Amino acid sequence: MARLPNFVGGFLVLILCLAIADASDSYYKYKDPKQPINVRINDLVKRMTVEEKIGQMTQIDRTVASNEVMKKYFIGSVLSGGGSVPSKKASPETWIDMVNDFQKGSLSTRLGIPMIYGIDAVHGHNNVYKATIFPHNVGLGATRDPQLVKRIGAATALEVRATGIQYVFAPCIAVCRDPRWGRCFESYSEDPKIVRAMTEIIPGLQGDLPPNTQKGVPYVAGQ
């Protein structure tokens, strides 16, 4: 078998070394689910520029969001506030396509940090056409039924996730003592004990905490 010229052999060795180096550089601790969460966080933060950190701490409304904006400014979160919808009578598919388009912009950034989409689903998925609408908190508090409220939370979560959204701006845990406050209807009661009991809607929205959940770590793997 003919021997390769020295320069060809050297070139192949160089290519091999570069390939190995590239493979080692492609491993990021923050992307490894087997790593402890604090290790992943520290690894990610160390890699971030100031611009990326500012972007991740920023939430913008859907009306000014786009695939390009998410990518250019490293936006961490998008919100559909009251009445902020992609189109009149938008279907669930329209919502999903919109959220996915924003997400593609986020995932195409240097670090590929996914964005979080939030919506005011405060008494059901109330921004979405034909979604199930429940009474406001003041009405739910009058039931004095925490388990009913938990089931309402689970139903809301199901419809929110069906439109591709991960985050609800709910519930409002307020104790309204002065009816001149314009959002008293979002308070379950003027009695803190009743309000505390109605927080059962939270495990309804996000799912019950699994056994041996690590204290202090947000639970985001449920509904």
pLDDT band at 148 (very low <50, low <70, confident <90, very high): very high
User: Domain of 160?
Assistant: 125-208
pLDDT for 175-199, tens place per residue?
999 999 999 999 999 999 999 999 9
Query: 113 and 38, same structural domain?
Result: yes
Both 146 and 191 in one domain: the answer is yes
Asked if residue 103 and residue 41 are part of one domain, the reply reads yes
**Is 192 among the domain residues?**
yes
Instruction: Indicate the number of domains in the chain.
Output: 2
Provide the pLDDT for residue 154: 95
Q: How far apart are CA 113 and CA 181, in angstroms?
A: 38
Q: What was the pLDDT predicted at 140?
A: 97
Provide the mean pLDDT of the chain.
89
The reply to whether 131 and 171 lie within a common domain is yes
Residue range 23-57, pLDDT digits in tens:
455 789 999 999 998 999 999 999 999 999 999 99
Is 9 among the domain residues? no
Looking at the structure, do residues 92 and 161 belong to the same domain, yes or no?
no
Letter string b/e over residues 83-113, b meaning 16 or more CB atoms within 10 A of that residue's CB: eebeeeebebebbeebbeebbebbeebebeb
Residues 43 and 99 in one domain: yes
Q: Is the pTM of this model over 0.75?
A: yes
Domain boundary among 56, 91, 119: 119
Residues 6+ apart with CB under 8 A from 127: 80, 82, 83, 84, 85, 119, 120, 121
The domain boundary residue, chosen from 74, 103, 119: 119
Q: What is the pLDDT of residue 5?
A: 55
- DSSP class per residue in 91-152: -HHHHHHHHHHHHHHHHTSSS-PPPEEEE--SSBSTTSTT--B---HHHHHHHT-HHHHHHH
